[in-house]
Structure 1
Amino acid sequence: MSVEIRDNIIKKMEKIGSKYLLLQFTGADGNLKGVELSKRAFSKIEQVGVDGSSIGFLRTKRSDMIIVPDPSTVTLVPWQDNTACVFCDLRSTDTHERIATDPRGILSEVNRSLLEEYNANYYARPEMEFYILTSDLKPVDTATYMALPPRDRGYFVRKMIIETLELVNLPFKTFHSEVGKSQHEIEFQALPAVAAADGVQMFKQVAKMVALNNTEDWIISFMPKPFIDDSGNGMHIHQMVKGEKTDLFKESANDLSEFVLHFIAGQLKYAREITAITNPIVNSYRRLVPRIEAPVYINWGIANRTALIRVPGYESGRLEYRAADAASNIYFTLAMLLAAGLEGVRKKIEPPSAADFDADLLSPRELKEKNVDLLPRTLINALEVFHKSKLAKSVLGKDLHQEFYEARKLEWEHFTSQYSFEKKEITPWELDRYIDC
């Protein structure tokens, strides 16, 4: 790392009164990792090395890599005294270039293509859904959509999460209880793609630490479907593409542009190919089930919440992709969504007409007549399509594409060696593996 980067970070640490620095980055599995140093040690060190093979990035025979902090992301760690944190890029020890499998780097590279071709940047605004549960995995209350205290006992934890987000300068829009019992949602303000992905990682850490430090036995879970008979947790992603003075999604105040129509068409065309990325675990497909208000239908609509892609009826400058969940690697998810949209623009793919019907009410025959396909129904189905995807391979790179496929296929095989996915239940295997995702 350069002296300039190091000095910049030290100045920011001094400004917020930090004696320690947590260097954090995201593993290939989507989980946040980190290594901590004292300010004194950081001020003298030239670079920080880690074992890339242990976190899914490099082969064991050549596994050393270095992590380089991004000074623009320095903030405090609210649950640790005198500690700051910073997001890092992953680089080669030989060339100091970003390694090909770095999640931040992959997303940055796709956005760079957008910037070079259209002089614009990709923005995202995630909606994060989660449950507040007791240690024995029961809802802490019976509150449902937009309930208020005292029925909404989780309100006070949610409010502490919001207050902590303000401390780390992570801008949010709204927060409220959701449809499921003791389910909640926090929606963020739009940020450039990499900053939005960093924000998702920080938010998940904040939420879990608030529950850990301020309750006796409550936990927070982003597991896509912790209860078979209650709502699943999604991560709806609102998307925008903007230049310095232009909004590429808007033709006028109320009209959609040709750019956004092609962008929608690209995401619809490649939706099945990218589902293994946006919904990467066995349990993801407990949520993606027809006729339970899940976004499984590959269509789009204006103000239509049964569609995979929704254009809000009150705001034409953004798209909401509704299928993703928080078990995904957010950097990979945003990279694939942007890449799919850009392919639609480059190839001038035309979208179908906006759906003005409730797909949940249609029979399989009626869906076929309207040319409405469905997302894959299981992880292995999604992986089979993903493995053949030229788009996924081009975005992730040949090696990461293959390793992701093999790792998730092995996960499916572990599950099906003990259980049948066709049985409508949340298995102990799923709860043990995913409740903390």
Structure 2
Amino acid sequence: MTSEHTSPDGGLDAAEQDVIDKIEQEGVDFLRLQFTDILGTVKNVSVPASQAEKAFTEGIYFDGSSIEGFVRIQESDMRLDPDPETFAVLPWRADSDGSAARLVCDVIDTSTGEPFSGDPRTVLKDAIDRASELGYEVNAGPEPEFFVFETDADGAPTTDTHDAGGYFDLAPKDLASDLRREIIYNLESMGFEVEASHHEVAEGQHEIDFKYADALTTADNIATFRSVVRATTAQSDAHATFMPKPIAGINGSGMHTHLSLFEDGENAFHDGDDEFNLSGTAKSFLAGILEHAPALTAVCNPTVNSYKRLVPGYEAPVYVAWSDVNRSALIRKPAARVPAASRIELRSPDPSCNPYLALAAMIHAGLDGVENDLEAPDPVRENIYEFDEATREEYGIDTLPPNLGAAVEALEDDEVVTDALGDHIAEKFVEAKTAEYDEYRASVSEWEIDRYLAKY
């Protein structure tokens, strides 16, 4: 079985041959064939660049039983099919003892020759295909935030922030401005179009925004972005983390995600005659996201620590509502200067999520709203953080699950989102996250020791 990109005669197609040519031009010594496991951890198999043609025509085989949530030992043979459109030279390897390049891969089940149902990239492709069958292209634009911390004498990460800056601060408070610049240089060399970067609200916290793209490219970009940020930061003897809430009492890191559908090259979310410039399609898609928000939370906020961020008072959305004017709601309708920019912004995801699964779940939830012609509730223009419980009930505003355990239960009860993940990933994801939450519940924190040990 050859790659889907390979020409019918078994040779290389134009895109693959272009990669071979670039490898020679750039003097690339090694190829990192990249994929992600169910939990969103980037994995890679490194092969000599001389194996590039074989990688395209035959694929590269690996033991899937060694990857979290993939397959059992007796079903272990997997194959990586590299996507030539994702070729990029890794800039932080250029001055070392060997130049390396990256190719994102699809995982193939060798027993069937078909895409592996446990491959998160395949799951996202299936969601994109569903949208395509309805006549839509899906665009997404993320806003990933991260912290930069000092490392200790042994190179281990600490929680001592790299700088004392605040929102949009400049040097000397924002000591990481040079680091952000280096990250941006590396991103741009890999094909990113970076739109903005700035210091975030908390000390040591930063945001770098890159241009929206189709959903698959965006997911690939998020996985790449995290790798670039961490590798570049490590070269400065510091540590970058996408942990949602590394320090108590200050803002956590989110990954607000902008979503839109295009139909026949036009933005299907735009309606110039609507008060909010949102079409009926956009409102139904928005309603689908709200309808499935509890289950989406398990996928978009997949760690125990995620729920330390999702609390009132730290600019993180916990209320299932939408608004065009405030940021306390789960979904915001950003201002759009031109019709093509009309979109909705889901504010709950955090950067610890698996970008392929998160986007797939969002797409299926939104399309469920479109297919069933769901009606969006009225927008809430007041600050929901200031509402008491009675007022929230009056407005019909629910809250997101308060912890990972509740979110996983919501996921198990939601057929639309579990179907989005597929049987294999849904089962393995629930299994892994249930174990994580059970382990957390059984642990004893330093907070508990400080509060109770002497008192009782």
Q: Choose the corresponding residue for 1:63, options 57, 63, 76.
A: 76
**Could you state the TM-score of these two structures normalised by the residue count of structure 2?**
0.89
- Deviation for aligned residue 1:37: 1.0
Larger mean CA deviation between 122-131 and 12-21 belongs to: 12-21
- Match of residue 260 from structure 2: 240
Q: Does 1:164 align with 2:186?
A: yes
Written as runs of structure 1 = structure 2, the 5 A alignment for 1:139-150 is 139-150=161-172
Structure-2 separation of matches of 1:353 and 1:44: 56
Q: Choose the corresponding residue for 1:391, options 411, 416, 423.
A: 416
Q: Choose the corresponding residue for 1:401, options 419, 426, 435.
A: 426
Instruction: Give me the CA root mean square deviation.
Output: 1.8
Structure-2 separation of matches of 1:140 and 1:422: 25
Q: Choose the corresponding residue for 1:183, options 187, 205, 212.
A: 205
Q: Does 1:355 align with 2:380?
A: yes
Written as runs of structure 1 = structure 2, the 5 A alignment for 1:3-18 is 3-4=11-12, 7-18=17-28
Q: Are 1:291 and 1:361, in contact at CA under 8 Å, matched by a contact in 2?
A: no
Q: Does 1:98 align with 2:115?
A: yes
- Deviation for aligned residue 1:364: 1.0
Structure-1 separation of matches of 2:307 and 2:265: 40
Give identity over the alignment, percent: 34
Partner amino acid, structure 2, of 1:235: M
Q: Choose the corresponding residue for 1:373, options 398, 406, 414.
A: 398
Partner amino acid, structure 1, of 2:361: M
- Match of residue 219 from structure 1: 239
Q: Does 1:336 align with 2:344?
A: no
| Change in CA separation of 1:422 and 1:284 when aligned onto 2, cut-off 3 Å | farther
Q: Are 2:123 and 2:422, in contact at CA under 8 Å, matched by a contact in 1?
A: no
Structure-2 separation of matches of 1:207 and 1:420: 30
Q: Choose the corresponding residue for 1:306, options 328, 350, 358.
A: 328
Q: How many residue pairs align between the two structures?
A: 422
- Match of residue 279 from structure 2: 257
Partner amino acid, structure 1, of 2:50: R
Q: Does 1:284 align with 2:306?
A: yes
Structure-2 separation of matches of 1:43 and 1:290: 53
Q: Deviations over 1:71-121 (max 9, x none)?
A: 011010111232211100011113322111211111111111111112x21
- Match of residue 80 from structure 1: 93
- Deviation for aligned residue 1:416: 1.3
Q: Are 1:90 and 1:99, in contact at CA under 8 Å, matched by a contact in 2?
A: yes
Q: Deviations over 1:9-62 (max 9, x none)?
A: 312322333122111011111011101111223334632111222212222221
- Match of residue 115 from structure 1: 132
Secondary structure at the residue paired with 1:40? helix
Secondary structure at the residue paired with 1:14? helix
- Match of residue 154 from structure 2: none
Structure-1 separation of matches of 2:413 and 2:66: 27
- Match of residue 432 from structure 1: none
Q: Are 1:295 and 1:322, in contact at CA under 8 Å, matched by a contact in 2?
A: yes
Structure-1 separation of matches of 2:191 and 2:87: 10
Q: Choose the corresponding residue for 1:54, options 66, 73, 86.
A: 66
Written as runs of structure 1 = structure 2, the 5 A alignment for 1:398-437 is 398-419=423-444
Q: Are 2:336 and 2:342, in contact at CA under 8 Å, matched by a contact in 1?
A: no
Structure-2 separation of matches of 1:54 and 1:252: 52
Unaligned runs of 5+ in 1: 426-437
- Deviation for aligned residue 1:229: 0.8
Secondary structure at the residue paired with 1:250? coil
Structure-2 separation of matches of 1:63 and 1:344: 38
Flag the structure with larger Rg: 2
Larger mean CA deviation between 367-376 and 81-90 belongs to: 81-90
Structure-2 separation of matches of 1:152 and 1:353: 40
Partner amino acid, structure 1, of 2:263: G
- Match of residue 174 from structure 1: 196
Partner amino acid, structure 2, of 1:53: S
Q: Does 1:28 align with 2:38?
A: yes
Secondary structure at the residue paired with 2:38? coil
- Match of residue 430 from structure 1: none
Q: Deviations over 1:385-433 (max 9, x none)?
A: 11121112211112221111111110111111113699699xxxxxxxx
**Could you state the TM-score of these two structures normalised by the residue count of structure 1?**
0.93
